[in-house]
Amino acid sequence: MTRDPSLVAEPDGPATNPTNASTDDGGRRPGGGDGFVRYLLSKLGGAAISLFMVVLSAFFLFRILGGDPVDALTRDVPTTPAERAALREQLGLDQPLSLQFLHYLQGVLTGDLGESYQYQQPVTTLIGERLGATVLLTGTALVVAASLGLWIGARAGWRQGSRFDKVQVGLSLTLWSAPTFWLGMIIIMVFARYLGLFPINGMVSPHTPPGFWPQTLDTLHHLVLPVLTMASVIYAQYVLVMRSSVLDEKGGDYLVTARAKGLRDDMVRRRHAVPNALLPTVTLVFLQLGGVVGGAILTETVFSWPGLGLLAYQALKIPDLPLLQGTFLFFSSAVILANTAADLVYRFLDPRVRHA
């Protein structure tokens, strides 16, 4: 057993407890309120810098890729050079790049992301219309993957070297290394083409009768294969991370103490090892909140799921610059905010971070 450092006596005085020790700066402890404020400001400052870099990248990145929106929009329509020049002026593409950037930056600061070239609607409206479908897909996939991955990963780590552990590690490594679009096509071939169990595109079938329950059941039917594709990759990450965390905790002295008290092995795992092993996975959960949204592009494209991922893919083909900038800014902001939330939550869960 390890001794509690808070109860160790100093060489020339009685035992001291850090929570009762005197401190400077008006009696506030290190890692207390002032420490949290500094920590919060540093994380928010880092997030603000990252967001600014994303704003810059969203404007210049898609212009470097090349492609003329006017050519794409007039590809199937006979137009004269004068009409093309008028369209370019209407879209603001005739202005100097510096002036275009200033207009874009002003729009971002005021919440105006411009108007889509192909849909002739505000970008914010299009994002709002498609956001629900993406949240439904990614949220369901994340819940399924986290629930199964953490549970199976904990059992695999606790039973290291067993057949169950070897099978789960092999399966997880395979799924983690598989490209999402390839995995989606395999799933379509097996469950849609060969077995004919599920639809392969869209969110609701055109012939579905109106009404809450028919529409809901049809949406859930369409949701199965996209969720299976996304959850398989995310699940693999959770299994491997949770397994590694449990292995790190297995040799802890507190587990030896728990067994010495007569607790069953299963209870030692559930009540003692798993709660401590969950700490590293908290960061992964919050990272996935942002990363999964961005990773939905491939899945939504393969299954024609009408979310933000499919919207970004369709915008890339023109290129629809305002829509590309808006979706890129949304995806990147989601990742940055999720990372910041992970840092803040981890500080509350792990005392070592609070008092660092």
Residue 195 burial (C-beta neighbours within 10 Å; 0-12, 13-18, 19+): exposed
Distance between CA atoms of residues 304 and 192, nearest Å = 14
Q: Is residue 293 part of a domain?
A: yes
The domain that holds 257 is classified in CATH as: 1.10.3720.10
Q: Is residue 91 part of a domain?
A: no
Q: Is residue 349 part of a domain?
A: yes
Q: Is residue 23 part of a domain?
A: no
Distance between CA atoms of residues 183 and 174, nearest Å = 11
Q: Is residue 96 part of a domain?
A: no
Phi, psi of 15 (to 5 degrees): -60, 140
Q: Is the dihedral of CA 323, 201, 302, 298 positive or negative?
A: positive
Instruction: Note the pTM of the prediction, 2 decimals.
Output: 0.79
Q: Is residue 290 part of a domain?
A: yes
> Residue 326 is part of which domain span?
38-67+130-354
Q: Is residue 161 part of a domain?
A: yes
Give average pLDDT by consecutive 10-residue segment, the chain, 356 residues: 42 41 45 72 89 89 80 80 86 87 90 90 93 90 90 89 92 89 92 90 87 91 94 88 85 74 76 76 71 75 91 88 91 85 74 58
Report pLDDT digits (tens) over 133-148. Answer: 998 998 899 899 988 9
193-202 — which CB contacts under 8 Å span 24+ positions? 198/222, 198/224, 198/225, 199/225, 200/225, 200/303, 200/304, 201/303, 201/304, 201/305, 202/304, 202/305, 202/306
pLDDT at 7: 40
Distance between CA atoms of residues 209 and 309, nearest Å = 27
pLDDT at 356: 55
Per the structure, the count of domains in the chain is 1
Q: Is residue 95 part of a domain?
A: no
